[in-house]
Structure 1
């Protein structure tokens, strides 16, 4: 996988309006889904009851929580780039989110993204709007399409 490497925010800002490299595949396991259920207290059977999902679900297996796809965006984006002067980042919000296709257990996801907008934020900070599409390997519709906003700060 290619990785975007920038010395500092000035260099990073030159990527505004451009696509980032395609991300690496991330395997979604039942253990990840169960851990997400534990963290969010969302134990709906379609996510955590393997036997019931096999019998009653139209998908014939458990599916990940939709919000799990969103929560993977930070990790997936940070895997795509290195900014040497980067000190920390925080999530700012989401402008648009859709979950066009459920994420079946034991599938692979990867990120397709671009940097829509970069704005100054406070001292030594940037507010970045990312266009993100989370692809499911072998499935035409994406798991998630989102306009994700984050803050990044330089050291």
Structure 2
């Protein structure tokens, strides 16, 4: 966990790689729970037998499951001690470049692109996030994530 005393301390990191998260394992249980929560029961995710015969040779995680991990990656990797709250403000770009087979481990590389003051004394941060799969040279996801943090 990388800690920053203030929003200004974090904003001083614009243009830098700020942190790399710990690895998170993608289990079939996580994939199934995500399918239940979203109603996306596509067979390549939840039908283990059929998925083994499919184009990826195994069940794969939903792209949006991978994307939803961004909250966890940020929460467990970066802390602004003086903040009262942080909120997801949205995404500018998202790409899913490679499948995530069940049993994979993922981690995120967090690069702070910009920090813009907003009303209420907060800061809007644009993060360039790259999610990698352990053992693979190709990223599985890249996203521009917008986060607002308030003192």
Q: TM-score range by the shorter chain?
A: over 0.9
TM-score calculated relative to the size of structure 2: 0.96
Unaligned runs of 5+ residues in structure 1 are none
**SS of residue matched to 2:117:** strand
Match among 97, 100, 109 for residue 97 of structure 2: 100
**Displacement of 1:141:** 1.3
* Correspondence for 2:9: 11
1:111-138 Cα deviation digits (max 9, x unpaired): 1121000011111311110000000011
**Displacement of 1:140:** 1.7
* Correspondence for 1:147: 144
TM-score calculated relative to the size of structure 1: 0.93
* Correspondence for 1:119: 116
* Correspondence for 1:66: 63
Q: Counterparts of 1:9 and 1:22 in 2: how far apart (Å)?
A: 19
Unaligned runs of 5+ residues in structure 2 are none
**SS of residue matched to 1:15:** coil
Q: What is the count of residue pairs matched by the alignment?
A: 151
Q: Counterparts of 2:16 and 2:32 in 1: how far apart (Å)?
A: 36
**Displacement of 1:21:** 2.2
**SS of residue matched to 2:12:** helix
Superposed structure 1 runs of 4+ greater than 2 Å apart: none
* Correspondence for 2:26: 28
**Displacement of 1:81:** 1.4
Query: Is 1:85 the equivalent of 2:77?
Result: no
Paired residues of 1:20 and 1:80 also in contact (CA < 8 A): no
CA-based RMSD of the aligned residues comes to: 1.0
